[in-house]
Structure 1
Amino acid sequence: MSIENLDSEWQRAAGIADLAEGEVIAASAGGQRIALYKVEGEVYATHDICTHEHAHLSEGYLDGCEIECPLHQGRFDIRTGKAMCRPVTQALPVYPVKIVGKDVFVMLGQAQ
């Protein structure tokens, strides 16, 4: 797939080289701050702000497919957005991801 074939809803978030295995980074797509994760070769994208308090998940601790909020240690599944433990109770928005060439694209309008 080429960039020309992407629907206009897809926004470039980062270069794939910016994202190391087992890490989370902050990125911006469509003027919105998101968190990007790479786990076992797969790339995932979520909203970067915890649903419990205003903390950046990109500054949290990634353990497998769970991100731990740096503020109160609530955890989310980065694949589904599901809140895994208190104090978080509200799911985290997750976004579809496509890798095109050397770039990571997300579809913000399709948050799950």
Structure 2
Amino acid sequence: MQQTDRFVSLVPVGDLKEGFLSSQVVEGRAVVVARTADGVYVYDATCPHADFQFTAARLRGGCEIECQMHGARFKADATGEVTKGPAKEPLWVLESRVVDGMVEVLLDW
């Protein structure tokens, strides 16, 4: 089977508030979009620690995603790395880009 990777439109950047996490669904998959002073990043919406679903929320300090279940924190950047446990694995960062004011995400799943 041949897989065709393609970018699809997700949300206008203007709809995203800096310092916040936005919940979205693309092709049936729940994702979250973080807008920080450094850019826009898209992640799988599931916390790697306990399979908890992230929802729209304020970013801690404007740059960290905090899991509402156990308080694990992750960098809201291109790495999604853990900054505070109990999580040990980083967020699953999805490849994304901004084109003509629209956040697009690469469908490669």
TM-score tier (shorter): 0.7 to 0.9
Q: Who is 1:96 aligned against?
A: 95
The alignment status of 1:53 with 2:46, answered yes or no, reads no
SS at match of 1:57: coil
Gaps of 5+ in 2: none
Gaps of 5+ in 1: 1-6
Root mean square deviation of aligned Cα: 2.1
The alignment status of 1:42 with 2:39, answered yes or no, reads yes
SS at match of 2:33: strand
Q: Who is 1:9 aligned against?
A: 6
Measure how far apart 1:41 and its partner are: 5.4
Q: Distance in 2 between matches of 1:54 and 1:88?
A: 11
Q: Distance in 2 between matches of 1:61 and 1:100?
A: 25
Q: Who is 2:70 aligned against?
A: 72
Aligned AA for 1:12? Answer: S
TM-score, normalised to structure 1's length? 0.79
Structure 1's 60 and 16: CA in aligned 2 closer, same or farther, altered over 3 A? closer
Deviations 1:42-71 (A, max 9, x none): 111111110111322234541232100011
User: Is the 2:64–2:75 Cα contact (8 Å) retained in structure 1?
Assistant: yes
User: Is the 2:49–2:88 Cα contact (8 Å) retained in structure 1?
Assistant: yes
Question: How many correspondences in the alignment?
Answer: 104
Q: Who is 1:105 aligned against?
A: 104
Aligned AA for 2:46? Answer: I
User: Is the 1:78–1:94 Cα contact (8 Å) retained in structure 2?
Assistant: no
Q: Distance in 2 between matches of 1:41 and 1:91?
A: 19
User: Is the 2:43–2:91 Cα contact (8 Å) retained in structure 1?
Assistant: yes
Q: Distance in 2 between matches of 1:88 and 1:61?
A: 19
Q: Distance in 2 between matches of 1:86 and 1:102?
A: 35
Higher helix share: 1
TM-score, normalised to structure 2's length? 0.81
Aligned AA for 1:29? Answer: V
